[in-house]
Amino acid sequence: GDSWGIFTFLCAALCNLPALPALNCTEELGTSQSIQKTYDLTRYLEHQLRTLAGTYLNYLGPPFNEPDFNPPRLARAERVPSATVDLDLWRGLTDNARLAANYRAYSLLLCYLRALDGQAATAELRHRLGHFCSSLQGLVLSIAGVMSSLGYPLPAGPSAPPGTLVAPNDFLKKMEDFWLLKELQTWLWRSAKDFNRLKKKVPPAVVTLRLEARGF
């Protein structure tokens, strides 16, 4: 009947069409996904750190757990990588330089946090620190993935965990722990902004169609 004839015609037409163009998913797709994942991880770590910092500062006790406690940074605390770079100067750096600085900083901060994990007195605090360290390790690897996808060389991390100096007294040791958490909060806040800007520079790639050569 007419229906069968139309069906036969359509089949013949489809069979004579050129092969469907191959999908050419560019590398930008993987890069944008990697940047988005890293951004999401920084925001997750920011949220996680708020709870961890509160728990740890309560563990340290007063005055460290008081809201208005804002001590000057001690020379000993300068071993912790500082995020207090002028904002305009930081934004003036290349993407490669900012990514490298983030990678080096989190590699060092992770070493110091693992030292805290071993010193914490309570099982709950050790569990929280251990979980956070695992997440931060994921961030370090994620930043490395972004750098690789953008074609940037990976900077050298710490060759060995930084040595833990014995503080002259318990107060100074607590002060170092306080500054470690404070700097980590600032790094995560700034990193989230860095990756938010970077993902706008590398938008998700539009899947393009590439016609295969048909011998002409």
Write the DSSP string, 104-144. HHHHHHHHHHHHHHHH--SHHHHHHHHHHHHHHHHHHHHHH
Alpha-carbon distance 79 to 24, whole Å? 47
- Mean pLDDT, the chain, whole residue set: 79
For the stretch 80-99, pLDDT in tens is 778 777 888 888 999 999 99
Q: Which of 24-33, 89-98, 205-214 has the lowest mean pLDDT?
A: 205-214
Residue 158 has a pLDDT of 66
Are the CB atoms for 170 and 109 separated by under 8 Å?
no
What residue has token string 């060092």? 108
Alpha-carbon distance 82 to 86, whole Å? 11
Alpha-carbon distance 60 to 171, whole Å? 9
Which domains, and CATH codes, for the chain?
A: 28-201 (1.20.1250.10)
Of 13, 20, 31, whose CA–CA distance to 201 is shortest?
Answer: 31
Q: Write the CB contacts of 130 (distance below 8 Å, at least 6 apart in sequence).
A: 117
Residue 84 has a pLDDT of 72
Residue 163 has a pLDDT of 55
